[in-house]
Structure 1
């Protein structure tokens, strides 16, 4: 008995040593990635927060920091352009994400039910997402052009409009045009996530629903949608993060115009920081944008808590 106990003790000590070795090896493998994340994500945010509390002047000897407390935030929040940018960013993000989730679900369901050429359908559908945003924005710029644009030519050929329309030169049409271009490019991203979720649903569920006499709509509502809620929530969360940081599409298509109609928070921060060289104010805009994005994500996750499988606190 004593020998068995000693042997058991040795095995436990050996197992503990191996576990500690595995833990140290795991931390060693994670350390390089952690350093990169710290360098490219955490440090810029912390440094931007520090900058937002200072008045920064560019001198011959470099940057001169003068602590001003919350003055930069007071100046930013008292500017009508900031609140206009907040409003534009919010309703632009809400509308585009909602439309992308709707069409993304329809396209994912259609591809899932295609028996032939499914791979080709996925490849063709991914072309808009694969294009660099600047290139796709230039393409949409040619489409929307008020003089030689394809859209005007088609609509005039169909006798829907009788005169050329400057789609990017009017506030309402400029916003709608941006939304259409964004939806066209990013809906494939939603499709891929939802298509992956659809492929993970066991076929037995549909067979059981068919035996119970469920029609196509009942199968979707009682089988597909409940099983797909997590994927919908994941796609929506990623798209909210991207939509609130919209910059390149309006920068290329409208330059924030006409006037300031399509000036997003990212564009406002870039103009304040790099064009006007108001470093403290630009940092305050950037930090405010981060806070807004975090708030939007928390609201989204709270609204769809059941979709991500979390229980109410």
Structure 2
């Protein structure tokens, strides 16, 4: 229903009545219902594939389970699994290795990734071919690349051992001693994942407006000053995404040390994931394995939340990317 409104002698206009207003809201609601209808199957699948195993692991971590001819049987509900885990020196050693390995490899990958991305951004020709070559390590399955590095590190015929033999009288047994083994794992991981970081950062570099570089040049800024005051602040959101991806991957590292060292020598390269694997599949201690997995997931979640909170505070205070 509309109401006439006189604007000048002999002329009238109409304004929409109150019953016409909900038409747009109703259309938006119908679109929202349609969207939920189409995404519901995907959400159900995602919930079954991700949320259910997580919840099942959390519940299992509080159970004392024994194997029977019919399967598994819960004997009692207890927190003994967590008490055993936290009091174990193997848990502390694995935690120290995993945290140190994650921080070290991610830091090196971010630095190298930024350097590679800057070089690629300056290329006028051949960038696509170079990107394709750089992504070959990332495209390899980790088990395959780990086996490749196992050949390179072999004490008898490995190319890396041979190179050390050119400058050292007694080349180290790389995977046979703790420090060289950790360094060997880190090198293999950095070789594989730095291209991934470089591609993410390159995507942020190409979106920086050219006017910012021109303004810095007009102000007489050097190349390093331009990079520090113009490029890095604009790249912080992209770097944050790269760090999150890599922390999530590195903290759950399993396949690379499992193939190269089996967590050895001793427990020098035993990650939390390998510790949980051994508890679950070698010792058949389901509750303890679930407790290790749950604690590892909780640590990752807390670390990522703290990182995102710190990054958001930097954005709010410094206006990153504006």
State the TM-score, normalized to the length of structure 2: 0.91
1:115-144 per-position Cα deviation (integer Å, ceiling 9, x unaligned): 121111111111111111011001100110
1:2 aligned partner: 3
1:18 aligned partner: 27
Backbone CA RMSD of aligned residues: 1.6
CA contact (8 A) 1:147 1:164 kept: no
The Cα shift of 1:264 comes to 0.3
Name the CA distance, whole Å, in 1 between partners of 2:299 and 2:148.
31
The Cα shift of 1:99 comes to 0.4
2:78 aligned partner: 69
CA contact (8 A) 2:254 2:274 kept: yes
Give secondary structure in 2 for the equivalent of 1:168.
Answer: helix
Q: Kindly tell me: are residues 27 and 150 of structure 1, through their superposed partners in 2, closer, same or farther at Cα, counting changes over 3 Å?
A: same
The Cα shift of 1:310 comes to 4.6
Is 2:163 the partner of 1:183?
A: no
1:92 aligned partner: 101
The Cα shift of 1:8 comes to 4.3
Give secondary structure in 1 for the equivalent of 2:99.
Answer: helix
Name the CA distance, whole Å, in 1 between partners of 2:316 and 2:238.
14
Is 2:208 the partner of 1:201?
A: yes
Give secondary structure in 1 for the equivalent of 2:175.
Answer: coil
1:251 aligned partner: 258
2:168 aligned partner: 161
The Cα shift of 1:10 comes to 4.8
After TM superposition, the structure 1 stretch with the greater mean CA deviation from structure 2, 290-299 or 94-103, is 290-299
State the TM-score, normalized to the length of structure 1: 0.94
The Cα shift of 1:29 comes to 2.2
1:230 aligned partner: 237
CA contact (8 A) 2:164 2:171 kept: no
- Describe how 1:77-226 pairs up with structure 2 within 5 A: 77-156=86-165, 159-226=166-233
Name the CA distance, whole Å, in 1 between partners of 2:88 and 2:54.
23
CA contact (8 A) 2:3 2:17 kept: no
Q: Larger Cα Rg: Structure 1 or Structure 2?
A: 2
1:53 aligned partner: 62
Give secondary structure in 2 for the equivalent of 1:305.
Answer: helix
The Cα shift of 1:269 comes to 0.7
- Whichever structure has more strand as a proportion of its residues is 2
| Count of paired positions | 308
1:185-236 per-position Cα deviation (integer Å, ceiling 9, x unaligned): 0111110110000011000110111111112111111110111111111111
CA contact (8 A) 2:279 2:289 kept: yes
Q: Which of 276, 284, 306 is the aligned partner of 2:283?
A: 276
The Cα shift of 1:40 comes to 1.2
Name the CA distance, whole Å, in 1 between partners of 2:168 and 2:29.
73
